[in-house]
Structure 1
């Protein structure tokens, strides 16, 4: 599944601009965190850079998007 998620997206999320993806930079992030009832389904996963994924933690996605001024998943 790690190959399929980046293939469906040409940007990492939470950034206000496109970011080139390499096989080393993207991580999988849960739209609805597992700790808040989310799952590992294809529809609940997006790409995010390691920094943003770690910074967001389990914050609600829209809170983080608003804070960063980025792309809504």
Structure 2
């Protein structure tokens, strides 16, 4: 049986996604958090290393800072 989709976790929020095989290598965005990344089939790639953990934490901090700024602007 030929696969038409592959599973990938969003590197920003960790949600799983089924991505059409035609989008392999293309930039995609997560439907949950709108994070942007390239579609890669994990079965064809080595496991992610520790360096990805740092980028995930940086992105989380960016989102927290942006949310804090938005909340501060909304206050009277």
TM-score (norm 2): 0.27
The structure carrying a bigger strand percent of its residues is: 2
Q: Which has the higher contact order (CA 8 A, sep 6+)?
A: 1
Please say which structure displays the higher CA radius of gyration: 2
Calculate the TM-score normalised by the size of structure 1: 0.28
